Amino acid sequence: MAEFFQQVVAGLATGAIFAALALALVLIHRATGVINFAQGEMAMFTTYIAWTLTANHGWSYWPAFAATLVLAFLLGVGLQRVVIRPIERASILTTVIVTIGLVLIFNGLAGLIWSAEVRAFPSPFPNDTWEVGGVAISQQDVGTFGVVLVMVTVLWAFFQFTKTGLALRASALNPDASRLVGVRVGWMLAIGWGLAAVLGAVAGMMTAPTVFLDPNMMQAVLIYAFAAAVLGGIDSPFGAVAGGLMLGVGLNLIGTYIDFVGAGLRLPVALLIILVVLLVKPAGLFGKAVTRRV
């Protein structure tokens, strides 16, 4: 039993990271219908900025963390303005291809600026563990989980209780009507990109202390985040978080308890399960099925 809980605890921490990035994907998708393939690489890139601030400029952790979030926001807004907006009217696939271009650029730039060498990234949480009934609970994992939870809550409150949040939701839901009532939809989309980049930066900075920082750090995480977002329902923020946590825990349990699976087939089996879920619920677990009017 101890091993079961051990795997669950481990899974929740990984799952929280999937959840943060999945949420970023959902944010952009809800606003524009686009899957931003560069979300992971943007997260990696902003994490490098945090690393430079702490390692090269002697900043302490939390100021660097905050500054990185601000820079990430500006990066997101800037990208939307410079490369996404000009092709607003082209097909969604064109935008998706542009985000693939961004993947290449950020990955390459990180290598160009910081080399492909693996680096240590500081963590604000102590490296100790608590022993609870034979289960080792890492304080790092608890901290990661907590930070993601706080971020998600803040974001939710922002969307729910602020005027900008309302405008953001409105322009995602019905851009034309929002325009009529005076919402600057273009800027709202840019802010959406900015917030997504902030979430990505959090995911990156929480991932890096564990998997260490290199230009390819977020590639695997992005695939899982994509799966988590779809599992939960690509338009449901709550679903993204739930999907991320379920995926994190599920992957560990599959690897532990289904013997023929082992680690080699963990990913295929997890994806198969998601496919089956999608066949039963084609809009994900928490997504609303699209009803079409004739």
> Applying CB under 8 A, which of residues 146, 162, 177, 212 lies at the interface with another protein?
212
Q: What span, in angstroms and rounded, lies between the C-alpha atoms of 256 and 244?
A: 19
CB of 224 to another protein, least distance (A): 7
Output DSSP code: residue 119: B
Quick one: 166 or 265, whose CB is closer to another protein?
Answer: 265
Are residues 22 and 225 in contact, defined by beta-carbon separation less than 8 angstroms? yes
User: Total number of residues binding another protein (CB under 8 A)?
Assistant: 89
Which parts of 101-120 interact with another protein (CB under 8 A)?
A: 101-113, 115-120
Indicate whether 127 belongs to the interface with another protein (CB under 8 A).
Answer: yes
Span interacting with another protein, options 61-69, 135-143, 175-183, 189-197, rule CB under 8 A? 135-143
Instruction: Name the one residue in this structure whose structure tokens are 């931003």.
Output: 36
3 binds another protein (CB under 8 A): yes
CB of 29 to another protein, least distance (A): 7
Q: Is 146 in the site for another protein (CB under 8 A)?
A: no
For the bound state, the minimum distance from the C-beta of residue 146 to another protein, rounded and expressed in Å, comes to 16
Q: H or E stretch including 68?
A: helix 61-79
Stretch that binds another protein, among 136-144, 160-168, 171-179, 196-204 (CB under 8 A): 136-144
Judged by beta carbon, residue 190 or residue 251, the one nearer another protein is: 251
Q: Pairing state of beta strands 135-138 and 129-132?
A: antiparallel
Q: Which of 98, 45, 43 is nearest to 222 (CA)?
A: 43
Which position has the token pair 């009532």? 181
Write out the binding residues for another protein, residues 18-57 only, by CB under 8 A.
29, 35, 37
Question: Apex CA 253: angle with CA 251 and CA 259, to 5°?
Answer: 105
279: contact with another protein by CB under 8 A? yes
**Contacts with another protein in 235-254 (CB under 8 A)?**
251-252
Decide: is 86 part of the binding site for another protein (CB under 8 A).
yes
Q: Are 193 and 79 spatial neighbours (Cβ–Cβ below 8 Å)?
A: yes
- Asked if residue 211 binds another protein (CB under 8 A), the reply is yes
Of residues 149-168, which lie at the interface with another protein (CB under 8 A)?
Answer: none
Task: Select 56 or 127, whichever has its Cβ closest to another protein.
Answer: 127
> Considering the rule CB under 8 A, would residue 138 count as an interface residue with another protein?
yes
Asked if 224 interacts with another protein (CB under 8 A), we say yes
Cα 282 from chain centre: 22
How is residue 82 annotated by DSSP?
I
- Residue type at position 6: Q
Q: Which residues contact 156 (CB under 8 A, 6 or more apart)?
A: 237
List, in order, residues 6 or more apart from 199 with CB less than 8 Å away.
20, 21, 23, 24, 27, 151, 155
142 interacts with another protein by CB under 8 A: no
Contact 46, 228 (CB under 8 A): no
Task: Output the six-digit token pair for 30.
Answer: 């809800």
The answer to the question of residue 96 lying near another protein (CB under 8 A) is: yes
Is the CB of 170 or the CB of 223 nearer to another protein?
223
Considering beta carbons, is residue 139 or 174 the nearer one to another protein? 139
In the chain, the amino acid numbered 284 is G
> Could you say which of 192, 284, 285, 286 contacts another protein (CB under 8 A)?
284
